[in-house]
Amino acid sequence: MKFFVDTADTADIADLAATGLLDGVTTNPSLIAKSGRDFLEVTREICALVEGPVSAEVVALDHETMMKEAEILRKISDNVAIKVPLTLDGLKTCKKLTDDGTMVNVTLCFSANQALLAAKAGATFISPFVGRHDDNGFDGMALIEDIRLIYDNYAFETEILVASVRHPIHVLESARIGADVATMPPSVIRSLFKHVLTDKGIEGFMADWAKTGQSIG
Ligand code: G3P
């Protein structure tokens, strides 16, 4: 499963990219606003920090203006994936862009039928929002299971990009189901490294090692 980070904070992205475990980045208008940075400038900077796909979202709601915005965004770098909302105009834009060889991430997916439409529109990635699904009394991970089943039934190549991830269990369940990508806030990625028994084990080994009076090298 690929790991994307869901942020426009370049310091966090650089820090996580240094682990060698980061496969891409997703942003959205809310994350750009949170960064306080110029959209095009920060997207350019992020594209230089990672080799994998960097999702940059259009803000227009109609197809023609979406295409104009996508035209500007895709010129930033070869690793830009244009993010479009799951609407009729968004999917029309998706079809046109992917037919042209541009990566597209279809976002704000809340049903398996929407995911089916995105795959038929040739989406590179579909982003089902599991956290927001859970928040509203639905089962986010059941949605991922349904999409996996449908995509496998028809051998769709669209990658399931689990979004709105809130905690490590979402990541674990995504991997169990066989999602292709999980995009996570930096805090969730960092929490995956941690285990209380790992810390306790290190503490014990260090204490015992100190008793030997030895050093390596
Ligand atoms: O990037 C889209 C998605 O991950 C947003 O997450 O936490 O705002 O529901 P959230």
Task: Give the count of domains, the chain.
Answer: 1
Q: Please give the distance, rounded to the nearest whole angstrom, from the Cα atom of residue 146 to the centre of ligand 1.
A: 20
Neighbours of 18 (CB within 10 A): 10
Question: What domain range is 46 assigned to?
Answer: 2-212
Is 217 domain-assigned?
no
Which CATH number belongs to the domain containing residue 143 in this structure? 3.20.20.70
CB-defined site of ligand 1, < 6 Å? 6, 26, 28, 129, 131-132, 163-164, 183
Helix 140-153 × helix 168-177 angle, to 10°: 20
pLDDT tens readout for residues 100-128: 999 999 999 999 999 999 999 999 999 99
Instruction: Tell which one of 4, 6, 82, 109 to mutate to probe ligand 1, the residue whose CB is within 8 A of the most ligand atoms.
Output: 6
Is 111 domain-assigned?
yes
Under 8 Å between Cβ of 182 and 1: yes
Is 39 domain-assigned?
yes
Task: For the chain, give the mean pLDDT.
Answer: 98
pLDDT tier, 167 (very low <50, low <70, confident <90, very high otherwise): very high
pLDDT at 122: 98
pLDDT tens readout for residues 10-35: 999 999 999 999 999 999 999 999 99
pLDDT at 129: 98
Backbone angles phi, psi at 177, to 5 degrees: -75, -25
